[in-house]
């Protein structure tokens, strides 16, 4: 399955989700604006293991929303959540949203 991208959040297909189940569905929160990439519709669960987030979409699809991006439909299954990074002369840094 192809990766799914919304702003600086990238979802990569995985066979299994793992880790401790979280009580929220926020995949990332903007450092500058406070806007959130979050699941707003559909059934899903979010897990964390060693600082990595895993999303499990239980319904046929779930909707990923953000205040500055178009909503995206995420298919059923497991997804690893990654945050885009960029290189600058001082080294790697996460993209600020």
Stretch 24-32: mean pLDDT? 84
- Residue 33 near residue 8 (C-beta atoms within 8 A): no
pLDDT score, position 29: 83
pTM: 0.83
Q: What is the pLDDT of residues 33-46, one digit of tens each?
A: 678 999 999 999 99
Q: Percent of the chain at pLDDT above 90?
A: 66
Stretch 78-91: mean pLDDT? 74
Provide the residue ranges of all domains of the chain, joining segments of one domain with +: 4-94
pLDDT score, position 93: 45
Number of H helices, E strands in the chain: 0, 10
Stretch 34-61: mean pLDDT? 95
């Amino acid at each position: 399955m192809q990766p799914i991208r919304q702003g600086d959040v990238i979802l990569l297909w995985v066979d299994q989700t793992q880790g401790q189940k979280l009580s929220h569905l926020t995949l990332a929160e903007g450092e500058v604006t406070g806007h959130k990439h979050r699941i707003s519709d559909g059934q899903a669960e979010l897990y964390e293991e060693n600082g990595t987030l895993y999303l499990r979409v239980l319904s046929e699809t779930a909707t990923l929303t953000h205040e500055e991006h178009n909503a995206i439909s995420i298919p059923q299954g497991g997804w690893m959540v990654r945050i885009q990074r960029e290189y600058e002369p001082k080294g790697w840094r996460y993209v600020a949203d």
